[in-house]
């Protein structure tokens, strides 16, 4: 089903591209579909890779190193009025004498709390980086970002897009307090990050910039059109500059949604807001998201410069 859905999205990208191209050719007066999935891709001089592809085996299980754990937890959501699920990774050697930073890692329109687990092997990806001292030991929370009573990715998944906006309240009022009560967490904003893919990338932009008092590290990968327009997203340029420790944006150069991220990148550049802009050779696909997680995880919660 999952593979079928991704192929469906892939086909939509191609169809979207072809139909928009044809519309523009056949009838220049007709407006382009606003925010459509899979628009024409125009690459500029900034749209280049900041990082190499990850090394072979980066998300494969390695023997002879310590391993973390993955746990599916449930929490009561006042926002949705149901019990909701989240996957939680705790790093090797997790103990209550240490206060850990937390990364909230969000999925796409057809995903759920298991999406990252299914394609990126986060236990192994993080265990490997932590064993090599490339990532800070952290807790990674993978919730369900579709904040509605039936939060399964069923039927017309696009119809649930508004529930991805509702998730801001579920995250802040219900999930974060649960995580901070249940685990040994450093609750300061400098030790809380938000990142995600596609719809989760848009959520990372919107919730990250919208709650600079809560998040200091923001990582949107292949952000979808749920991303607020830059002027609305960043009404206070100085606050963004002074509060963000890292803004790490990526997209594939074959992703029909790249214009969403290009648009934010250009606004950030014009306003002198420091950020990473990494454009690799992938499309709107798990290879791009795994690679982005691999590189983002090596900068989040660290003071070194993100690009060496």
Can you tell me the distance from the alpha carbon of 138 to that of 161, in angstroms, rounded to the nearest whole number?
Answer: 29
In this structure, are residues 127 and 66 in contact, taking their beta carbons and an 8 Å threshold? yes
Shortest CB 35 distance to ligand FER, Å: 5
Shortest CB 201 distance to ligand FER, Å: 8
In this structure, are residues 106 and 194 in contact, taking their beta carbons and an 8 Å threshold? yes
In this structure, are residues 182 and 91 in contact, taking their beta carbons and an 8 Å threshold? no
In this structure, are residues 138 and 101 in contact, taking their beta carbons and an 8 Å threshold? yes
Determine, following the binding rule CB under 6 A, whether residue 226 of this chain makes contact with ligand FER: yes
User: Of the two residues 179 and 197, which places its CB atom closer to ligand FER in the complex?
Assistant: 197
306 CB-near residues (< 8 Å, 6+ apart): 246, 248, 276, 299
Among the residue ranges 19-27, 98-106, 138-146, 222-230, the one whose residues contact ligand FER (CB under 6 A): 222-230
8-to-4, 103, 281 alpha-carbon distances in Å: 6, 30, 20
Can you tell me the distance from the alpha carbon of 227 to that of 250, in angstroms, rounded to the nearest whole number?
Answer: 14
Can you tell me the distance from the alpha carbon of 65 to that of 136, in angstroms, rounded to the nearest whole number?
Answer: 15
Interface with ligand FER in residues 100-139 (CB under 6 A):
108-109
Shortest CB 284 distance to ligand FER, Å: 6
Determine, following the binding rule CB under 6 A, whether residue 161 of this chain makes contact with ligand FER: yes
User: Of the two residues 92 and 225, which places its CB atom closer to ligand FER in the complex?
Assistant: 225
Q: Tell me the longest C-alpha to C-alpha distance in the chain.
A: 66
Distance linking the first and last C-alpha atoms of the chain: 40
User: Of the two residues 10 and 92, which places its CB atom closer to ligand FER in the complex?
Assistant: 10
Beta strands 192-197 and 102-106, pairing class: parallel
Determine, following the binding rule CB under 6 A, whether residue 291 of this chain makes contact with ligand FER: no
User: Of the two residues 112 and 127, which places its CB atom closer to ligand FER in the complex?
Assistant: 112
User: Of the two residues 35 and 177, which places its CB atom closer to ligand FER in the complex?
Assistant: 35
Q: How many CB atoms lie within 10 A of CB 74?
A: 11
Distance of CA 42 to the CA centre of its chain: 23
Among residues 121, 136, 178, 198, which is the contact residue for ligand FER, using CB under 6 A?
Answer: 198
Interface with ligand FER in residues 3-42 (CB under 6 A):
9, 35-37
Determine, following the binding rule CB under 6 A, whether residue 162 of this chain makes contact with ligand FER: no
In this structure, are residues 216 and 189 in contact, taking their beta carbons and an 8 Å threshold? yes
In this structure, are residues 251 and 257 in contact, taking their beta carbons and an 8 Å threshold? yes
Determine, following the binding rule CB under 6 A, whether residue 160 of this chain makes contact with ligand FER: no
Q: What mask, x for binding ligand FER by CB under 6 A, covers residues 199 to 218?
A: x-------------------
Among the residue ranges 41-49, 83-91, 137-145, 223-231, the one whose residues contact ligand FER (CB under 6 A): 223-231
Shortest CB 108 distance to ligand FER, Å: 3
Among the residue ranges 23-31, 54-62, 183-191, 224-232, the one whose residues contact ligand FER (CB under 6 A): 224-232
User: Of the two residues 137 and 202, which places its CB atom closer to ligand FER in the complex?
Assistant: 202
Q: Which chain residues interact with ligand FER by CB under 6 A? A: 9, 35-37, 108-109, 161, 198-199, 224-226
């Amino acid at each position: 089903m999952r593979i079928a859905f991704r192929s469906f999205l892939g086909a939509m990208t191609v169809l979207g591209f072809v139909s928009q191209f044809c519309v523009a050719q056949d009838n220049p007066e007709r407006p382009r579909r606003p925010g459509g999935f899979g628009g024409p891709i125009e690459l500029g001089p900034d749209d280049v890779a900041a990082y190499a592809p990850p090394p072979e085996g980066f998300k494969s299980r390695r023997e002879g190193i310590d391993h973390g754990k993955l746990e599916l937890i449930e929490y009561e959501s006042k926002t949705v009025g149901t019990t909701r699920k989240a996957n939680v990774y705790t790093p090797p050697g997790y103990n209550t004498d240490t206060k850990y930073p937390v990364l909230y890692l969000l999925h796409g329109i057809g995903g759920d709390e298991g999406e990252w687990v299914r394609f990126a092997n986060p236990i192994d990806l993080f265990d490997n980086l932590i064993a090599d001292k490339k990532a800070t030991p952290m807790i990674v929370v993978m919730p369900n970002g579709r904040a509605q009573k039936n939060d399964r990715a069923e039927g017309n998944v696009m119809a649930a897009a508004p529930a991805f906006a509702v998730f801001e309240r579920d995250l802040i009022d219900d999930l974060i307090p649960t995580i901070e009560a249940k685990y040994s967490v450093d609750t300061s904003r400098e030790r809380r990050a938000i990142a995600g893919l596609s719809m989760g990338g848009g959520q990372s932009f919107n919730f990250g910039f919208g709650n600079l008092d809560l998040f200091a590290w923001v990582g949107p990968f292949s952000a979808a059109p749920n991303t607020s327009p830059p002027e609305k997203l960043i009404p206070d340029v100085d606050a963004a500059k002074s509060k963000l420790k890292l803004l790490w944006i990526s997209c594939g150069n074959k992703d029909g949604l790249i214009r969403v991220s290009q648009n934010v990148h250009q606004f950030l550049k014009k306003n002198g807001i420091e950020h990473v802009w990494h454009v690799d050779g992938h499309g709107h696909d798990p290879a791009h998201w795994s690679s982005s997680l691999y590189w983002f995880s090596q900068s989040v919660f660290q003071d070194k410069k993100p690009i060496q």
